[in-house]
Amino acid sequence: MLLVTGGAGFIGGNFVLDWLAGCDEPVVNFDKLTYAGNLDTLKPLERDSRHHFIHGDIGDRELVSSVLAEFRPRAVVNFAAESHVDRSIHGPGDFIQTNIVGTFGLLESVREYWSKLGADERLSFRFLHVSTDEVFGSLKASEAPFSETRAYAPNSPYSASKAASDHLVRAWHHTYGLPVVTTNCSNNYGPYHFPEKLIPLVILSALAGKPLPVYGDGQQIRDWLYVKDHCSAIRVVLANGQLGETYNVGGWNEKANLDVVRTICRILDELSPRLDGQSYSEQISFVQDRPGHDRRYAIDARKLARELGWKPVETFDTGIRKTIEWYLANDGWVENVTSGQYRDWMKHQYGK
C-alpha cells in the first residue's frame, strides 16, 4: 500500500493513474482538493477497489495519523503543495501554510507512525518528497544546469516555501533517521494540467480565440519534462533511491517560453486549424513580466541516469504533440476544471 499526498493534482494524479495501470499495489490518495485538485482526473478509478480517496489536509495531524494507522502504507509519496508562482506572489500565505507548515505536520505524523513499525517494516519504509528545480534560483545563459549540489537560492514565495520543505525533509532524516529521498524536477507538462500554467493556458486560449499571453520578451528558458516520464522517475527513485539522497529529474529539453508557444501554435495549425486560415501565432500577445521572474532553469539529471538507470522517453516534440492531442480529445475535463474561480483569476492576472 502506498500513501500518495496531493494525488488529485496534476503530477500526483498522473502518478496515481500510472501506478495503478502498471501494478496491483493499492493507493491511498490523500488530497485537500484546492482549486488545482480535480477529482475528474481520477474518474477512471472511481470503481477501482485499489484506489482509496481521502479528502484532507496534510497539516491535519490527527487525520493523517489515523489514515496511516488504518492503511499501514509501506511508503509515502508527497506531492502535496501549492505550486503556482503567480499565485504565490499575490497570496503567499497559502504557500507558507501548505508547503512549510503542512510538510512539517506530515513529517511528524509519518515519523510517529514509522517509529512504531516492526524492525523489517522500518527498514523498508520510504518517504519520497517531490520538489522543484525552482529552489535553485535562476541560471545565466552560460551556466551549467543545476546539479544536486547546487546551493539553494529561491526567488519567489513559492520556491522559497518549497526550499523550506526540502530542508525540513533533510533535517528529519539526519536528526530522526526518517528514511527519506527527495526529487527535484524541472517544468512538467502533459495531460490533466491545470490551465493556469503556460502550456495548457496557451492551448486553450488559442482554441478559444483569445490572446496568448507571453511574459516580457518570452526568452525565459525552462527544461520541459513530460509528466509521464516524471512518474516513471519517481517509481525508480522510490524503488532504488539511496536514503537521504536527492535526485534531479529533467527532460533535457531547454526551450524559451516564446518557442514553446510558437510550437504549440504550429501543431494546432495542423490538428485544429483556425476557420479563417490564419496561424494561431497571430494571437500571441506580450504582457508585462512578473516580479522576480527567473530567467533560466535547467536540470542536470545525469546522477539519476548514472546511479539508477533512468532517462526520459519523450522528446519535447513527441511530448507536446501528445499533450495537445489529449486536450483536443478531453474538452469535457477542461470545461469542468475551468470554473468561475479560474476565470476570475485569469481576469485578475492577465486583464481582459
Which amino acids are annotated catalytic? 133-134, 158
What is 271-318 written as a DSSP string? HS--TTS--GGGGEEEEPPPTT--SB--B--HHHHHHH-------HHH
What is the rounded CA–CA span in Å between residue 323 and residue 333?
14
Neighbour tally for 34: CB within 10 Å: 15
Using DSSP, state whether 162 is helix, strand or coil.
helix
C-beta of residue 297 within 8 angstroms of C-beta of residue 134 = yes
| Best CA proximity match to 195, nearest among 31, 352, 15, 335 | 335
Residue-wise DSSP of 240-273: HPPTT-EEEE--S-EEEHHHHHHHHHHHHHHHS-
Read off the DSSP letter of residue 338.
S
Residue type, 148: E
